[in-house]
Amino acid sequence: MELAHDLGFNVIKRMVLRALESDECDELECMAYNVSLDFILKLFRKYSSLKKVSIWSNTNRITFSEENRSEILDFVEKKKINFFHISENLTPIHGKLYAFKKNKSIQFLAVGSPNLTENSNHNFESLIYVEDRSLCEEILSEIPQLYTDLNFSPETTIPIQLDKIPAPEITMDPKFLDGLWKHQSEIVMWLANKRLSIVNIPPGTGKTKIAFTYLRYMFERDLDLTAIVLVPTTTLVTQWQKRLTNAGISNLEWGTDLSGLGSYFADPGLKVLVTLYSRFFKQYREYQKRAKIIKPNLLLVLDECHNSYGHIEDLLEFKNIMESFGGAVYGIGLSATIDSFKEDEVRNFINIMGGNANRFEISLQRFYSYWNMLNSTKVLKPINYTPIKYCLTAPEMEELKEFSKKIAIQIGKKTVLGPTVPTAAIKRARWLRGLPGGVITLKNYIMTHMDYFSDRATIIFVQTNKIAEDLRDFITKQPGWNPEASAYVYDSSKNEDYLSYALTQFKKHLGFCLISEKMLSEGFDLPKVDRVILHGSDKSPRDWIQKIGRALRYDKETPNSIAEIVDVVFCDPVREPLSLEKERYECLTAISN
């Protein structure tokens, strides 16, 4: 197939002349890294036939001139300009694609290097023109599914920098930035200008330090401010209280009820309550009855904020009622991933926290490719990634297709902006990770690598307690198993004495700790971990990030150590990773040594 091309200066200008003058197109759908709304406004002014422009871009790369704000907003209100934008911290959209339509029928595609800005005409750029309309439709139709596979959920709201008049920039005293890594400094300075925020960065990169620094800054800024810290485990309650006490910040534990907190309610200013999510959501209305009298300004810290899912409406009610008392409410959510199969929960949480413009996200791949290089000592260890592939059989592929059909039916249609990821997606994940072939593949790897487990700490994340018990028995019966090592199943069904003993043995650094899917991925006091083995997930498409975080943290005692990540990857019969495995496989492959 012969393709037309153009290169040099003014390629955007020539593309526009062809589309809007020669071909008299009336609609443009563009994907670009930089998009100038001033340039789009100029097109609307010049070509009265142009009816609609849809923009797929990064939030922070959609620019405009202040004098054009009102006119641009008018075009947005009339649906002549439509947005599908994502946070640049999530993934930069570097692809440039322009689809021109006439009477809703695509005329041609232009793919190449230039952005949709006037400046692109001043650069040496190139474009390839796709004339075959059926091929154009095929290319366009793949984009929404690609976004879905990559777990992108573009915002269709107006980008925050256009929607609101920018507030005066707040500067932070440099003393708060002492001792912070580069990414921590940038995030803390960003937080100074936010009332609500989400900090979504990889495990081991100091989320708690960021929140703690922000808390100290806010306490100095507002002497009437109080804070509530929500955490998922009692271990994190203890860790937060110890840290606050060492810093001289008055704190109390919000226990099974509000008794014993008289000193707090007498004067909550510059005091911190630390409690579990479960306690908070049972008792927040009782807290509000007392807070109604004292009307405090409040900072709510949501550590591992995805634990609020299932209580989003309660969270919104708490925020609204506290604000109705007349005090200011600030909030910061912390997590390595806010992802969930229940996408409506994710969207609702982001909306409550002010939208994607209030979310600072650094992907794991972005952290390794950029942020990890900025400090004299790297924040995270290098990764050695070993994928072990299990290829589904033909009958298993057919069963997978049936699951996928059910998911498509529940979603209603394949679109970037579909409603919620349904329960069928969770059932599919559980079925896939429970396939006997995946367990056999893992056992085969263990048999041939027993020497790796004799003196190094390994965590194996598995799907169920049954698989964990089976693996433990399999490992301890292998000829190469070190009898002085320890292999334990760490699961919530065990009693406290067993769990405590298992952790004690694990901390001796002699061997395994086998665990079920929902345990130990966050909020546990573990020693350094040399290796993480992944065998599935059913809580979230990205909870693997939490799990491998156990091995990523830099170790001062062994500065040259490497994080070993072994991953059971489910593939089709020709060894290509399944679509729901691709993001993890491609990300870990990209950052591996």
Secondary structure (DSSP) of 541-570: TTTHHHHHHHHHB--SSSTT--EEEEEEEE
- Of residues 364 and 166, more confidently modeled: 364
Q: Does residue 378 lie within any of the structural domains?
A: no
Domain count, the chain: 3
The span from the CA of 235 to the CA of 589, in Å, is 33
Same domain, 541 and 417: yes
- What is the DSSP secondary structure assignment for residue 483, as one 8-state letter? T
Q: Are residues 505 and 558 in the same domain?
A: yes
Place of tokens 């969207």: 347
Q: Which domain holds residue 226?
A: 169-373
**pLDDT tens digits, one per residue of 430-466:** 888 889 999 999 999 999 988 877 767 888 988 888 8
Q: Are residues 141 and 76 in the same domain?
A: yes
Residues 326 and 217 in one domain: yes
Domain limit, last residue, from 341, 373, 405: 373
Dist CA 151 CA 553 (whole Å): 26
Q: Are 361 and 201 in contact (CB under 8 A)?
A: yes
Q: Do both 338 and 368 map to the same domain?
A: yes
String of b and e for 44-59 (b: at least 16 CB within 10 Å)?
beebeebebbbbbbbb
Residue 328 sits in the same domain as residue 400: no
Residue 133 has pLDDT above 80, yes or no: yes
Q: Could you say which of 162, 197, 223 is where a domain stops?
A: 162
Tell me the pTM. 0.71
Same domain, 66 and 186: no
245 and 340 part of one domain: yes
In this structure, what CATH number is given to the domain that contains residue 319?
3.40.50.300
User: HEC states along 252-293?
Assistant: EECCCCCCCCHHHHHCCCCEEEEEEHHHHHHHHHHHHHHHHH
276 and 143: one domain?
Answer: no
**Is residue 232 within 8 Å of residue 304, measured between CB atoms?**
yes
Q: In the listed set 162, 196, 229, which residue is the last one of a domain according to the structure?
A: 162
3-class DSSP state of 484? coil
Share of the chain above pLDDT 90, in %: 48
Residue 20 in any domain: the answer is yes
- Asked whether residue 287 is assigned to any structural domain, the reply reads yes
3-state secondary structure of 115: coil
**Separation between Cα atoms, residue 236 and residue 233, nearest integer Å:** 5
Is the domain of 274 the same as that of 403?
no
Tens-place pLDDT, residues 539-568: 677 888 988 987 898 887 888 889 999 999
